[in-house]
Amino acid sequence: MSRPSSSILRSALAQTPLALPRITPRIQTRTLLNAASRSGINTSSIDYRILEGINGFLPKENFDRLQEWQVGLWNRLQGEVNNNPALIETKQKWDKYGLDMTDLISSTAKDKNLTLAYNYAALLLNNSFFLEGLSAENTQQVPTEFRDLKAKLEGYAEGIVGGGWLWIVRCGDSQNDLDVIPTFASGTLLVTQRSQRGRESTLPLFAEPPTSGSTEPSSSPSSASAPATETEEIPLNKRSSRSFTSNSNRLQYPTPLAVLNLYEHAYLSDKYGVWSKKEYVNDWWKNVDWRKVQKRNAEISP
């Protein structure tokens, strides 16, 4: 299959509604990401060392492809938000406050006429969580409580047909209540009952644009950061700072701790063929940021 010869945004940025600079093929990943960052696109949610490839796991060309996919999904989500009258409120909130992904997924999941917006949003959230969970450092020791899950991950991976996701989840009140759950296509476990589970809801997604289609702010910084009046409701991503805990009994299990992208464009390479998902899972297991996973697990309050 054909593979992009350069990193994120090379051809995608030329088509994006965001006013980003033209990119030449020889510019490397970090330069492209820096250009995106200067234009207001979020580039802070992952360890950028992984974008150059992870030894013993995915090479750089796979991360280039994952970035191209992420940017393409953002472009398409922006198109839906700008062109679908049912999403006008989402567009207004995105332009004024930043994107409330939790609210977007919760509202579009209930309406079959908004299926495209839901699919793009859920895939963006899942893929960002996958990239956020990778470590560019040397292999970390797998915590004892997670070790029994590896065989289950391998079994699920070999049995899944088509694109999907494998989630390591907390499924009970004890930190040892752990399991593996698969979802398919755009299925996500990160949003439940209008609340984001397993990651900080205020952390921008990878390559997240600042607005629904323009780098120009829709209001001045002073007005955007001013406290809301009693009659103005601030979106969920501005109201809460974390999503690991709950002030009521609304916390619902399972809560995601890490996810593996099982789409073929994520793993197909000279190293992994179409029947190499078991090896792909095994190498991912060695390159998970287990310190981050343990921290997520510890911060869940029953």
Q: Which of 83-87, 174-178, 235-239 comes out lowest in average pLDDT? A: 235-239
Average pLDDT, the chain: 81
* Measured torsion, CA atoms of residues 282, 48, 81, 264, in degrees rounded to the nearest 10: -30
Q: How confident is the model at residue 33 (pLDDT cuts 50, 70, 90)?
A: low
Is pLDDT of 20 > 80? no
**d(C-alpha 175, C-alpha 173), whole Å:** 7
pLDDT recorded at residue 11 = 45
Mean pLDDT of the 11-25 span: 42
- How many domains, in total, are found in the chain? 1
Q: How far apart are CA 142 and CA 15, in angstroms?
A: 42
Give me the pLDDT at residue 295, please.
95
Looking at the domain assignment, is residue 1 inside a domain?
Answer: no
- Distance of alpha carbon 86 from the chain centroid: 24
What pTM was computed for the model? 0.80
**Burial letters 77-107, b for 16+ CB under 10 A, else e:** bbbbbbebeebeebbebbbbbbbbbbbbbbb
**Residue 226: per-residue pLDDT:** 41
pLDDT tens digits, one per residue of 242-278: 444 343 344 579 999 999 999 999 999 999 999 999 9
Domain-embedded: residue 2:
no
- Residue 23: its pLDDT value, please? 36
Query: Which tens digit of pLDDT belongs to each residue from 159-212?
Result: 999 999 999 999 999 999 999 999 999 999 999 888 888 998 788 999 999 999
Q: Is residue 5 part of a domain?
A: no
Higher pLDDT, 267 or 4: 267
124 pLDDT exceeds 60?
yes
DSSP state of 195: E
User: Residue 6 domain-assigned?
Assistant: no
Crossing angle of the two packed helices 115-132 and 101-108, in degrees rounded to 10: 140
The gap from C-alpha 252 to its chain's centroid, in whole angstroms, comes to 20
Q: Which residue has the tokens 């992009």?
A: 4
Of the candidates 252, 250, 248, 226, the one whose C-alpha atom is nearest the C-alpha of residue 238 is: 226
Q: Per the domain annotation, does 51 fall within a domain? A: yes
36 belongs to a structural domain: yes
pLDDT given at position 4:
39
**Tokens in use for 256?**
């995601």
Q: Which domain holds residue 131?
A: 12-298
Percent of the chain with pLDDT over 70: 73
Q: How far is CA 75 from the centre of its chain?
A: 15
Q: What is the CATH number of the domain that holds 159?
A: 3.55.40.20
In a domain? residue 7: no
State residue 70's pLDDT score: 96
Sign of the CA dihedral running 116, 120, 125, 130? positive
Read off the pLDDT band of 38 (50, 70, 90): low
Residue 3 lies in a domain: no
